[in-house]
Amino acid sequence: MASILCGASTSLITTSRHHRFSTRFFSPQKSISFSKKRFVVRASETETDRVKPTAPNQSPSSRSSLNQLLGMKGASSENNIWKIRLQLTKPVTWPPLVWGVLCGAAASGNFHWTVEDVSKSVVCMLMSGPFLTGYTQTINDWYDREIDAINEPYRPIPSGAISEGEVITQIWVLLLGGLGLGALLDIWAGHTTPTIFYLSVGGSLLSYIYSAPPLKLKQNGWIGNFALGASYISLPWWAGQSLFGTLTPDVVVLTLLYSLAGLGIAIINDFKSIDGDRAMGLQSLPVAFGIDAAKWICVGAIDITQISIAGYLLGSGKPYYALALLGLTIPQVILQFKYFLKDPIKYDVKYQASAQPFLVFGLLVTALATSH
């Protein structure tokens, strides 16, 4: 969620302010340097005609300002610091967290369309999306700056569009803001145990160890992608259900199982980063198993999880919900063969845009089933 220990960040800042280094990768044309102020990809002296890195295979006229604001691949250059800050939080990744809160509220069986309940849910969505997901994405970009210098050199940190001090400040503001909203929601809900605050702390810690050394969970494709899936599916669901009701052990298990589908979704994002992951020694599944095997692992995790959940609902005496979930799984399988399995690198965005709406509606179906 998707989601604190950022003490390690302090030592990282101190270290970066006292020395300068450069790392040369496989191409003789580019070097990466991390100076006191900026982390930039510099052209070699022979590339005098290039002022700053741009998105690969894209002319300046084709780069989208909308992609920049949403934090998507192929973003245009931007000088406005607030637009750059927004880009670092990757708003395109917020909707699954917002939807997860909605599913949790629905699963509680206690959400009502009153001003107070709607206001609570909006605050919970702000906590899960812009604040804690924004924190997650910013800290991930900070620790991925060397990889991004290879895969996406036009992103704010490797391009030098934002200074290290500004990045660290953003990390802390988003983290503390998210934790503060979690504590506020517990008070608002009248919790004797600050459940939502604990969830926000746990999600933030998970986000940190996902991106930061020494653990850096993302170095292992299985563990890292499952952690990411749980952050995007389980944690916001738990927060939404805790806000309006009681989080039960069976729902915890069910949502963790659903996080296996999130693992599959997380693998999709690894295909575009194969070169950088391989160069930096990260064992993403496309690197470890190759593209062909990884794409089948990906769709298998997504489809088998949903079919298993449908079987659970059928066994629980909820056949209509089970059929609805199966009905939403079928178009996903069709789109996998139409796009993703043909070329997971070329069609990753198109597949996600067309198939994921069916998956998230399946989440809601499951949430409604558990509420009855």
- DSSP characters for 39-73? EEEEE-TT-TT--S---TT--TTTSBHHHHHHT-T
Decide if 179 contacts 53 (C-beta within 8 A): no
Question: In terms of residue numbers, what domain contains 94?
Answer: 1-44+65-228
- Tell me if 276 is assigned to some domain: yes
> Is 294 part of a structural domain of the chain?
yes
- Do 253 and 338 fall into the same domain? yes
- Those residues whose C-beta lies under 8 Å from the C-beta of residue 134, and which sit 6 or more positions away, are 88, 89, 90, 94, 174
Q: Looking at the predicted structure, is the pLDDT value of residue 53 above 70?
A: no
Among 228, 257, 274, the domain boundary falls at 228
Let me know if residue 255 belongs to a domain.
yes
pLDDT, tens digit (0-9, with 9 covering 90-100), for 110-157: 999 999 999 999 999 999 999 999 999 999 999 989 888 887 888 899
Helix (H) or strand (E) holding 23: strand 21-24
167 and 280: one domain? no
Whether 304 and 210 map to the same domain: the answer is no
pTM, to two decimals: 0.77
Are 17 and 166 in a shared domain? yes
Among residues 282, 286, 275, the alpha carbon closest in space to that of 30 is found at 275
Nearest Cα residue to 69 out of 94, 53, 86, 55: 86
Higher local confidence (pLDDT), 255 or 44: 255
Nearest to 211 by CA among 235, 232, 229, 227: 227
Indicate if the pLDDT at residue 371 is higher than 80. yes
| Least-confidence region, from 29-43, 175-189, 276-290 | 29-43
Residue written as tokens 């690197």?
Answer: 287
266: domain CATH number is 1.20.120
281 band by pLDDT with thresholds 50, 70 and 90: confident
Both 201 and 324 in a single domain? Answer: no
Residue 235 domain-assigned?
no
199 with 287, same domain: the answer is no
C-alpha 214/C-alpha 25 separation (Å) is: 22
Examine the domain organization and report whether 73 and 124 are in the same domain.
Answer: yes
Do 202 and 313 sit in the same domain of this protein? no
50 occurs within a structural domain? no
In a shared domain, residues 179 and 31: yes
Confidence of residue 72 (pLDDT cuts 50, 70, 90): low
What are the tokens at 342?
A: 């043909």
Residues 206 and 321 placed together within one structural domain of the fold: no
Which pLDDT belongs to residue 4?
37
Split at pLDDT 50, 70, 90, the class of 74 is low
Instruction: Report residue 54 CA to chain centroid gap.
Output: 23
Per-residue pLDDT at 269: 83
> Is 70 a domain residue?
yes
Give the integer Cα–Cα distance in Å for 41 and 51.
Answer: 11
Dihedrals φ, ψ of 153, to 5°? -65, -15
Of residues 225 and 199, more confidently modeled: 199
Given 182, 197, 228, the domain boundary residue is: 228
Residue at 238 is within a domain: no
Same domain, yes or no: 141 and 289: no
Q: How far apart, in whole angstroms, are the C-alpha atoms of residue 209 and residue 193?
A: 25
* pLDDT bucket at 70, cuts 50 / 70 / 90: low
Number of domains in the chain: 2
In this prediction, residue 278 carries a pLDDT of 85
Q: Do 36 and 177 lie in a common domain?
A: yes
Asked if the structure places residue 336 within a domain, the reply is yes
CA atoms within 13 A on the CB side of 361: 14
Predicted confidence (pLDDT) per residue in 229-245, tens digit = 898 899 999 999 999 99
Q: Using 50, 70 and 90 to split pLDDT, how confident is the model at 43?
A: very low
